[in-house]
Amino acid sequence: METPKKLGIIGKNISYSFSKKYFENKFQNLMLKNYTYEIFDLTDISEVEKIFQIPNLLGLNVTIPYKEKIIPYLDELSDEAEKMGAVNCIVFENNIKKGFNTDAVGFEKTLLLHRKNFHHAALILGNGGAAKAVKYVLEKHGIPYRIVARKNELNFENLSKEIVAAHHLIIQCTPVGTFPNVEDCLDFPFDALTEKHLVIDLIYNPNYTAFIKNASKNGAKTTNGFYMLEQQAEKNWEIWNFPKK
| One domain for residues 45 and 135 | no
AA identity, residue 161: K
Report strand pairing: 198-201 vs 221-223. Answer: parallel
Where the chain has pLDDT below 50, the residues are 244-245
List alpha helices for 53-102, DSSP H: 79-84
Residue-level pLDDT at 135: 97
Residue-level pLDDT at 1: 60
Residue-level pLDDT at 15: 80
Residue-level pLDDT at 245: 43
Q: Domain limits at 69? A: 5-102+231-241
Q: Is 67 a catalytic residue?
A: yes
Residue-level pLDDT at 243: 58
For residue 24, the domain's CATH number is 3.40.50.10860
| One domain for residues 28 and 124 | no
Tens digit of each residue's pLDDT (9 = 90 or more) over 52-99: 999 999 999 999 899 999 999 999 999 999 999 999 999 999 899 999
| One domain for residues 146 and 237 | no
For residue 188, the domain's CATH number is 3.40.50.720
Going by C-alpha positions, the residue among 37, 62, 35 that lies closest to residue 48 is 62
pTM, entire model? 0.90
| One domain for residues 136 and 210 | yes
Residue-level pLDDT at 17: 79
Residue among 20, 26, 50, 67 flagged as catalytic: 67
Report strand pairing: 76-77 vs 5-11. Answer: unpaired
